[in-house]
């Protein structure tokens, strides 16, 4: 089918069936602001930040959820559009406690960017700061601060459509709407597996990485792209580093994980700086460990293995390797066991 | 009102009693094969303990193989479900405009004093829980409340005392034994023109199919099935000019003609019996008084568009309607008017009732469809329209009770005959409802085109002695106001829209000069803030700000800038909301500003209520 044509802000653009107005606009370098829209999840058209004017339509339409149609004439920044967007941003700012000063999201918050782009200040009809909002701080990984939640629903779609953990849903009705886990319980009492996908999806500071709180602003941190050390999937991660120390880990939008991570990859990195971490080999003598050099330790292991093989036979020895080393290292381990020791007892912790 | 319910629920540690679990498991087993079974299961499960505690939610999730959070996410959307213990009797006091302008706030105070409760609380003896409700569809007896299934209307302090005393003494009426929910239709003043819809109401026993058959019932279905092609039925309805009676006035025949040719199966007919628009009470009379007519209309619609399955989505508070309809379905099925191969043809049609859960938005057709599918009642984006992709993605015709009930007469007597009734804009007859400050609030079926003056004077018994007409909210809570200059406008879709109102559901909320326009607007704003589904920002947050700002002005704490803000807000609501609820939430306000701006400004500048109705600052 030949591509069809529509007009955006006076210029014509071609599009293919199935594309939304937003797809066409972004593909043509026109930025239409969005908030609830989240990569590769069902567009809900709910936040109304992306509304555009379409000739002949009675109301404004959400660019993210409206299919492009041949001959459509679209305005993305007309006065009518800007007026509605500003009011939507005002309403969102007023819906919670949006004092950016100590907010973790400051500098990477999508609501803040919207307010800046449309020069919307906190409206004077904002809630008094003492409005009771639920604040969840009872687990080791995530903090949920509902005074910042804009009910975009991205976390719900991330949990349900990306991770398929189905741990959270939108609950209640109207202005009482709230993200709920099970019977509106804390995450720890729900089906949540702490993958942190909701954290990654949240456009504002409503879901926080607990250990990163107060550990530095986005612009103070350096990103290091690396591979998660935990399992064979090899997820790409961005390690956020400030002053030579890790602050947090986020999923990188790259093959194979496309931003997703599991609880271990996202939150299980604190061994890096842990005081209990092994820095030298230890040798146990008379029931107690003492630090040793690598040569001494390897000599000891080699001689003991040789002893056992010669006296008891090779089948008394087994090799057990780790999922946290590379495939090549695992290959060498089994080679050592089979070819040097002569045993087939080889296993791997990922079988657990 | 806060924007957030505060701290998380307490995580329960208790388990369900074995006998509770047994009953629950039986319910789940019985419903496992029902598509969209969550809401029916929740309704039935709630009957066991009066609420659905967390362990029960967990058991339902496991039993229906649904995510645990979806159970709570869905049930907490609907007003009628509870997850904490409640009293044996749920007292629901209506706070919507029709009851509000008739003194519902005073009656609420009386109720609170009588029960010794604040809203949301339960008496120590576990007998009563007091709740506020949006319009209960019983406005002809405003101010009104419902206690479990039973309506108590025309409340006074004395009456409230008596009612509560009766319940305390164990004298709770059984709704199934009542002849009707509110009033006897036969005692209303009737229009001299021949009725098309209400011809049986009050005259036949709604629990006896034979009574309906004796009046020619199911003759139209037989005629359609045995002598007409489906296309001919669609044509006949097109010829009739019948426009949807749910509020929007879309031509029914045209709607059917979009669905008829689609080859996707199965298709569905949905009868919209949610009747949540404040002031709207008409469908209840049809369902309680002549349930078979609704079923016959549905079956004809099913034949016309090629649907073999129908759902009646009836609001949860209409217990008697659901009871009568279910009985009618059973009888009609037993006698071969519903079921397989009707009248020896290949056409089969089955009907199932689905109960709402106390949500106005579920009357919106796509939210209704989501609800039947067992989800939160969030409207869907259109297009696609339900006629193309509705229930479970299949073509679904949604029509109002009154629309469908008009169909048998159209088939019996022809579309041309129907078209000859009413006005060129809107053919046929209409059930008008006159409520508010009139002497005899009632419904009346009349050929479309009755004027507001006739409705008020002839059928509403005129205004109360010594009072004069101030304004009328037309068509429901989401439409504009008209003033005395529009009293002679013929009430059809086109003329009322031109006058700045709307025919909507045909309800006319009449208000005399004792009404403060801000007080009225406040009740409207309470309604929208309570009923916004919360899916989109403008309506979720905007209806709350609308309420807060109007309340502030009403209380004498307003600023002139508030009016500018309200106008901006109303414009964004209209322009950027997702569905018609939000789009119309600011319409009454804009209309009031057009007609009564000086009165509103006086509240701000002079701290004065010209109607002398505000408690904060009497004139
Ligand atoms: C917020 C909202 C509430 C509605 N409530 C009802 C209702 O209670 N009953 C009804 O029949 N239609 C209601 N409607 C209209 C329906 O969406 C739909 O147009 C109607 O059921 C179609 O039937 P009809 O063409 O026969 O009128 C409502 C619409 C909106 C936007
Ligand atoms: S969530 Fe965004 S807008 Fe709100 S306080 Fe934080 S940075 Fe500011
Ligand atoms: S952490 Fe993962 S499982 Fe838990 S709610 Fe967030 S996305 Fe869902
Ligand atoms: S927690 Fe974040 S992602 Fe989830 S709804 Fe709130 S703002 Fe959106
Ligand atoms: S306009 Fe209101 S009712 Fe409609 S989708 Fe938006 S929040 Fe829901
Ligand atoms: S991004 Fe389109 S409606 Fe939210």
- Residue for token digits 């007292």? B91
Closest-CA residue of chain A to B558: A125
Q: Where does residue B298 rank: exposed (0-12), middle (13-18), buried (19+ CB within 10 A)? A: buried
Interfacial B residues in 353-382 facing A (CB < 8 Å): 359, 376, 381
Q: Ligand 6 centre and the CA of B445: distance in Å?
A: 45
C-alpha distances out from residue B576 to A62, A135, A214, B255, B538, Å: 8, 31, 37, 26, 7
Among the bound ligands, name the one nearest to the CA of residue A266.
3
Of ligand 3's listed atoms, the one at least distance from the Cα of A199 is 6
Measured between CB atoms, does A171 come within 8 Å of chain B?
A: yes
Assign A2 a pLDDT band (cuts: 50, 70, 90).
Answer: low
Q: Count the neighbouring beta carbons within 10 Å of the beta carbon of residue A258.
A: 14
Assign A125 a pLDDT band (cuts: 50, 70, 90).
Answer: confident
The candidate with the shortest Cα–Cα distance to B11, out of B55, B60, B67, is B55
CA A74 to chain centre: 33
Q: Is A106 in the pocket of ligand 2 (CB under 6 A)?
A: yes
Contact partners, residue A244, CB within 8 Å, separation at least 6:
none
Contact partners, residue A236, CB within 8 Å, separation at least 6:
A225, A226, A227, A228, A251, A252, A254, A255, A256, A257
Structure token digits, residue A197: 């996908």
Q: Whose CA is nearest to atom 12 of ligand 1?
A: B246
What is the tens place of the pLDDT at every residue in B449-503?
999 999 999 999 999 999 999 999 999 999 999 999 999 999 999 999 999 999 9
C-alpha distances out from residue B222 to B69, B79, B300, B336, Å: 47, 41, 9, 11
pLDDT for B10 equals 63
Q: Ligand 1 centre and the CA of B560: distance in Å?
A: 36
Q: CATH for B517-605?
A: 1.20.1440.230
- The domains found in chain A, sorted by start residue, are 4-77 (3.10.20.740), 224-273 (2.20.25.90), 278-311 (no CATH), 313-352 (no CATH)
Mean pLDDT rounded to a whole number for chain A: 94
Contact A87 B529 (CB under 8 A): no
Q: Give the gyration radius of chain B's Cα atoms.
A: 24
Cβ(B227)–Cβ(B240) below 8 Å? no
Structure token digits, residue A291: 């630090």
Q: Is A35 in the pocket of ligand 2 (CB under 6 A)?
A: no
Structure token digits, residue B17: 């009693």
Assign A327 a pLDDT band (cuts: 50, 70, 90).
Answer: confident
Q: Whose CA is nearest to atom 4 of ligand 4?
A: A155
Measured between CB atoms, does A119 come within 8 Å of chain B?
A: no
Q: What is the DSSP letter of A352?
A: -
Q: Is there a common fold for B209-419 and B517-605?
A: no
Assign B23 a pLDDT band (cuts: 50, 70, 90).
Answer: very high
What is the tens place of the pLDDT at every residue in B321-338?
999 999 999 999 999 999
Phi, psi of A35 (to 5 degrees): -140, -55
All residues of chain A having their beta carbon less than 8 Å from the beta carbon of residue B370 are: none
Q: How far apart are CA B592 and CA B202, in angstroms?
A: 39
The candidate with the shortest Cα–Cα distance to B405, out of B209, B196, B208, is B196
Q: How far apart are CA B75 and CA B79, in angstroms?
A: 8
Domain residue extents for chain B: 18-75, 89-173, 209-419, 429-512, 517-605
Domain B209-419: give its CATH superfamily: NADH-ubiquinone oxidoreductase 51kDa subunit (3.40.50.11540)
Q: Is B615 a residue whose pLDDT tops 80? A: no
Of ligand 6's listed atoms, the one at least distance from the Cα of A50 is 2
Among the bound ligands, name the one nearest to the CA of residue A188.
3
Q: Is A207 in the pocket of ligand 4 (CB under 6 A)?
A: yes
Strands B442-447 and A288-291, sheet pairing: unpaired
Assign B249 a pLDDT band (cuts: 50, 70, 90).
Answer: very high
**Assigned CATH class of B89-173:** alpha beta
Counting residues of chain B whose pLDDT is more than 90, the rounded percentage is 95
Within B275-334, residue ranges assigned H as helices are 282-289, 291-305, 319-334
Structure token digits, residue B140: 């002809």
Q: Is B135 a residue whose pLDDT tops 60? A: yes
Of ligand 4's listed atoms, the one at least distance from the Cα of A154 is 3
Q: Whose CA is nearest to atom 8 of ligand 3?
A: A159
Long-range contacts, stretch B494-503, CB < 8 angstroms, 24+ apart: B494/B425, B494/B426, B495/B423, B495/B425, B500/B591, B500/B594, B501/B472, B501/B473, B501/B474, B501/B475, B502/B247, B502/B474, B502/B475, B502/B476, B502/B478, B503/B249, B503/B426, B503/B430, B503/B474, B503/B475
Q: What is the DSSP letter of B441?
A: -
Burial A116-145 (b: 16+ CB within 10 A, else e): eebebeebebbbeeeeebbebeeeebbbbb
Q: Whose CA is nearest to atom 25 of ligand 1?
A: B244
- Residue for token digits 């954290």? A199
Contact B533 A173 (CB under 8 A): yes
Beta bridge partners of A45: none
Q: Is B249 in the pocket of ligand 1 (CB under 6 A)?
A: no
Three-state DSSP class for residue B130: strand
Beta bridge partners of A271: none
* Mutate which of B569, B581, B585 for ligand 5 pocket (most atoms within 8 A of beta carbon): B581
What sign does the dihedral B507-B512-B515-B516 (CA atoms) show? Answer: positive
All residues of chain B having their beta carbon less than 8 Å from the beta carbon of residue A94 are: 541, 545
Q: Whose CA is nearest to atom 7 of ligand 5?
A: B534
Cβ(A335)–Cβ(A309) below 8 Å? no
Residue B534 has its nearest CB partner, among A51, A127, A174, at A174
Interfacial B residues in 82-101 facing A (CB < 8 Å): 83
A199-223 average pLDDT score: 97
**Assigned CATH class of B429-512:** alpha beta
Among the bound ligands, name the one nearest to the CA of residue A52.
6
Q: What is the DSSP letter of B472?
A: E
> For residues A233 and B600, which has the higher predicted lDDT (pLDDT)?
B600
Q: Ligand 5 centre and the CA of B581: distance in Å?
A: 6
Residue A175 has its nearest CB partner, among B73, B540, B568, at B540
Q: Is B358 in the pocket of ligand 5 (CB under 6 A)?
A: no
Q: How far apart are CA B239 and CA B591, in angstroms?
A: 35
Q: How far apart are CA A97 and CA A128, in angstroms?
A: 8
Q: How far apart are CA A267 and CA A85, in angstroms?
A: 36
* Mutate which of B134, B274, B379, B538 for ligand 5 pocket (most atoms within 8 A of beta carbon): B379
Structure token digits, residue B311: 């759902």
All residues of chain B having their beta carbon less than 8 Å from the beta carbon of residue A183 are: 9, 11-12, 54, 57-58, 68, 71-72, 83
Q: How far apart are CA B330 and CA B303, in angstroms?
A: 20
All residues of chain A having their beta carbon less than 8 Å from the beta carbon of residue B548 are: 125
All residues of chain A having their beta carbon less than 8 Å from the beta carbon of residue B67 are: 160, 166-167, 169, 191
Q: Count the neighbouring beta carbons within 10 Å of the beta carbon of residue B292.
A: 29
Closest-CA residue of chain B to A188: B11
Structure token digits, residue A93: 């700012």
Contact B534 A44 (CB under 8 A): no
Q: Ligand 2 centre and the CA of A152: distance in Å?
A: 14
Residue B9 has its nearest CB partner, among A127, A177, A183, at A183
Q: Ligand 4 centre and the CA of A157: distance in Å?
A: 10
Cβ(B137)–Cβ(B284) below 8 Å? yes
Contact partners, residue B261, CB within 8 Å, separation at least 6:
none
Q: Is A352 a residue whose pLDDT tops 50? A: no
Residue A175 has its nearest CB partner, among B12, B359, B541, at B541
Cβ(B130)–Cβ(B121) below 8 Å? yes
Q: Count the neighbouring beta carbons within 10 Å of the beta carbon of residue A343.
A: 17
Interfacial A residues in 56-75 facing B (CB < 8 Å): 59-60, 62, 65-66
Contact partners, residue B6, CB within 8 Å, separation at least 6:
A132, A133, A134
| A40, HSE (Cβ side, Cα atoms, 13 Å) | 10
Q: Is B363 in the pocket of ligand 1 (CB under 6 A)?
A: yes
Cis peptide before B143 (omega within 30 of 0): yes
Measured between CB atoms, does A91 come within 8 Å of chain B?
A: yes
A65-85 average pLDDT score: 97
Q: How far apart are CA B440 and CA A271, in angstroms?
A: 78
> For residues B312 and A128, which has the higher predicted lDDT (pLDDT)?
B312
B57-73 average pLDDT score: 96
| A18, HSE (Cβ side, Cα atoms, 13 Å) | 1
Q: Is B6 a residue whose pLDDT tops 50? A: no
Contact partners, residue B17, CB within 8 Å, separation at least 6:
none
Predicted complex ipTM: 0.94
All residues of chain A having their beta carbon less than 8 Å from the beta carbon of residue B2 are: 131-132
Q: Is B61 a residue whose pLDDT tops 60? A: yes
Of ligand 4's listed atoms, the one at least distance from the Cα of A153 is 5
Contact A45 B538 (CB under 8 A): no
Of ligand 3's listed atoms, the one at least distance from the Cα of A196 is 1
Q: Is B1 a residue whose pLDDT tops 90? A: no
Q: Whose CA is nearest to atom 7 of ligand 2?
A: A106
All residues of chain A having their beta carbon less than 8 Å from the beta carbon of residue B54 are: 182-183, 185
Assign B5 a pLDDT band (cuts: 50, 70, 90).
Answer: very low
What is the tens place of the pLDDT at every residue in A144-202?
999 999 999 999 999 999 999 999 999 999 999 999 999 999 999 999 999 999 999 99
Cβ(A162)–Cβ(A261) below 8 Å? no
Q: Is B613 a residue whose pLDDT tops 90? A: no
Assign B8 a pLDDT band (cuts: 50, 70, 90).
Answer: low
What is the tens place of the pLDDT at every residue in A228-238?
988 878 899 99
Strands A51-54 and A4-8, sheet pairing: unpaired
Cβ(B418)–Cβ(B440) below 8 Å? no
Beta bridge partners of A288: A285
Torsion angle of the four alpha carbons A265, A268, A270, A275, in this order, in degrees rounded to the nearest 10: -130
Report which secondary-structure segment, H or E, holds B146: strand B145-147
What is the tens place of the pLDDT at every residue in B356-408?
999 999 999 999 999 999 999 999 999 999 999 999 999 999 999 999 999 99
Contact A48 B7 (CB under 8 A): no
Q: How far apart are CA A25 and CA A348, in angstroms?
A: 50
Q: Give the least confident one: A29-33, A268-272, B214-218.
A: A268-272
Highest mean pLDDT among A127-131, A227-231, B163-167, B615-619: B163-167
A80-103 average pLDDT score: 96
Q: Is A348 a residue whose pLDDT tops 90? A: no
**Relative orientation angle of helices B291-305 and B282-289, to the nearest 10 degrees:** 100
Measured between CB atoms, does A253 come within 8 Å of chain B?
A: no
pLDDT for B13 equals 64
């Amino acid at each position: 089918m030949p591509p069809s044509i529509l007009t955006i802000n006076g210029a014509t653009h071609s599009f293919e069936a199935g594309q939304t107005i937003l797809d066409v606009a972004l593909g043509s370098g026109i930025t239409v602001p969005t908030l609830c829209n989240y990569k590769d999840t069902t567009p809900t058209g709910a936040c109304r930040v992306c509304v555009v004017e379409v000739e002949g339509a009675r109301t404004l339409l959400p660019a993210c959820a409206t299919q492009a149609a041949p001959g459509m004439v679209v305005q993305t920044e007309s006065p009518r559009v800007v007026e509605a967007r500003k009011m939507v941003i005002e309403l969102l700012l007023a819906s919670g406690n949006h004092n950016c000063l100590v907010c973790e999201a400051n500098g990477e918050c999508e609501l803040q960017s919207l307010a800046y782009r449309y020069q919307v200040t906190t409206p004077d009809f904002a809630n008094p700061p003492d409005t009771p909002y639920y604040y969840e701080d009872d687990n080791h990984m995530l903090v949920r601060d509902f005074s910042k939640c804009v009910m975009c629903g991205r976390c719900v779609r991330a949990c349900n459509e990306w991770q398929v953990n189905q741990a959270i849903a939108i609950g209640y009705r109207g202005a009482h709407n709230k993200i709920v886990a099970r019977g509106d319980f804390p995450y720890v009492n729900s089906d949540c597996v702490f993958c942190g996908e909701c954290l990654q999806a949240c456009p504002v500071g409503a879901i926080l990485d607990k250990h990163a709180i107060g550990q530095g602003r986005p612009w103070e941190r350096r990103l290091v792209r690396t591979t998660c050390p935990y399992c064979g999937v090899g997820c790409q991660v961005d390690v956020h580093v400030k002053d030579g120390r890790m602050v947090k880990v986020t999923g990188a939008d790259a093959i194979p994980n496309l931003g997703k991570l599991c609880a271990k990859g996202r939150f299980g990195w604190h061994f890096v700086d842990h005081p209990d971490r092994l820095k030298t080999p230890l040798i146990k003598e008379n029931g107690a460990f003492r630090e040793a050099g690598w040569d001494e330790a390897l000599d000891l292991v080699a001689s003991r293995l040789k002893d056992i093989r010669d006296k008891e036979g090779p089948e008394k020895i087994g090799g057990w390797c780790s999922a946290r080393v590379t495939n090549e290292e695992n290959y060498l381990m089994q080679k050592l066991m089979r070819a040097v020791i002569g045993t087939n007892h080889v296993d791997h912790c990922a079988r657990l | 009102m806060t924007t957030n319910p505060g701290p998380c629920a307490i995580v329960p540690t208790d388990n369900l009693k074995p006998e509770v679990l047994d009953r629950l498991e039986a319910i789940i087993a019985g419903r496992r094969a029902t598509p969209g079974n969550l809401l029916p299961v929740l309704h039935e499960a709630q009957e066991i303990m009066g609420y659905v505690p967390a362990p029960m939610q967990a058991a339902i999730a496991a039993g229906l193989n649904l995510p645990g959070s979806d159970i709570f996410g869905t049930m907490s959307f609907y007003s009628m479900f509870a997850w904490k213990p409640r009293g044996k009797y749920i007292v629901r006091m209506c706070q919507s405009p029709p009851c509000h302008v008739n003194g519902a706030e005073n009656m609420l105070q009386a109720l609170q004093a009588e029960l010794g409760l604040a809203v949301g609380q339960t008496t120590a003896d576990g007998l009563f829980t007091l709740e506020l409700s949006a319009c209960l569809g019983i406005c002809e007896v405003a101010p009104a409340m419902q206690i479990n299934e039973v309506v108590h209307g025309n409340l006074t302090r004395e009456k409230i005392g008596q009612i509560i005393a009766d319940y305390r003494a164990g004298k709770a009426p059984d709704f199934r034994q009542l002849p009707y929910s509110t009033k006897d239709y036969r005692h209303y003043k009737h229009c001299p023109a021949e009725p098309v819809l209400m011809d049986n109401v009050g005259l036949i026993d709604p629990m006896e199919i034979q009574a309906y058959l004796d009046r020619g019932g199911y003759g139209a279905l037989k005629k359609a099935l045995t002598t007409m092609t489906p296309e001919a039925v669609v044509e006949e309805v097109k010829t009739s000019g019948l426009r949807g009676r749910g509020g929007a006035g879309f031509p029914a025949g045209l709607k059917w003609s979009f669905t008829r040719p689609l080859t996707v199966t199965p298709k569905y007919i949905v009868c919209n019996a949610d009747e949540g628009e404040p002031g709207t009470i008409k469908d209840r009379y049809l369902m309680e008084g002549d349930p078979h007519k609704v079923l016959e209309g549905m079956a004809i619609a099913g034949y016309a568009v090629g649907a073999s399955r129908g759902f009646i989505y009836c609001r949860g508070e209409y217990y008697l309607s659901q009871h009568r309809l279910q009985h009618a379905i059973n009888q009609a099925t037993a006698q071969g008017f519903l079921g397989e191969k009707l009248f020896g043809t290949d056409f089969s049609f089955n009907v199932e009732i689905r109960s709402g859960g106390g949500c106005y938005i579920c009357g919106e057709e796509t939210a209704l469809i989501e609800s039947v599918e067992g989800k939160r009642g969030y409207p869907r984006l259109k297009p696609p329209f339900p006629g193309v992709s509705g229930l479970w993605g299949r073509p679904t015709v949604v029509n109002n009770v009154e629309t469908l009930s008009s169909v048998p007469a159209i088939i019996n007597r022809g579309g041309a005959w129907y078209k000859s009734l009413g006005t060129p804009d809107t053919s046929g007859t209409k059930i008008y409802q006159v409520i508010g400050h009139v002497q005899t609030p009632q419904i009346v079926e009349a050929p479309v085109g009755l004027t507001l003056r006739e409705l008020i004077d002839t059928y509403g018994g005129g205004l109360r002695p010594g009072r004069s007409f101030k304004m009328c909210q037309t068509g429901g809570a989401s439409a504009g106001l008209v003033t005395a200059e529009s009293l002679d406008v013929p009430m059809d879709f086109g003329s009322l829209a031109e006058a700045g109102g709307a025919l909507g559901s045909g309800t006319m909320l009449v208000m005399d000069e004792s009404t403060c326009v801000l007080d009225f607007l406040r009740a409207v704003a309470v309604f929208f803030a309570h009923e916004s589904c919360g899916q989109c920002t403008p309506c979720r947050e905007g209806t709350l700000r609308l309420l807060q700002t109007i309340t502030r002005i009403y209380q004498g704490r307003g600023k002139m800038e508030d009016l500018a803000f309200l106008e901006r807000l109303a414009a964004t609501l209209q322009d950027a909301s997702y569905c018609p609820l939000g789009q119309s939430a600011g319409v009454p306000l804009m209309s009031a500003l057009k007609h009564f701006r000086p009165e509103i400004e006086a509240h701000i500048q002079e701290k004065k209520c010209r109607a002398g109705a505000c408690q904060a600052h009497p004139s």
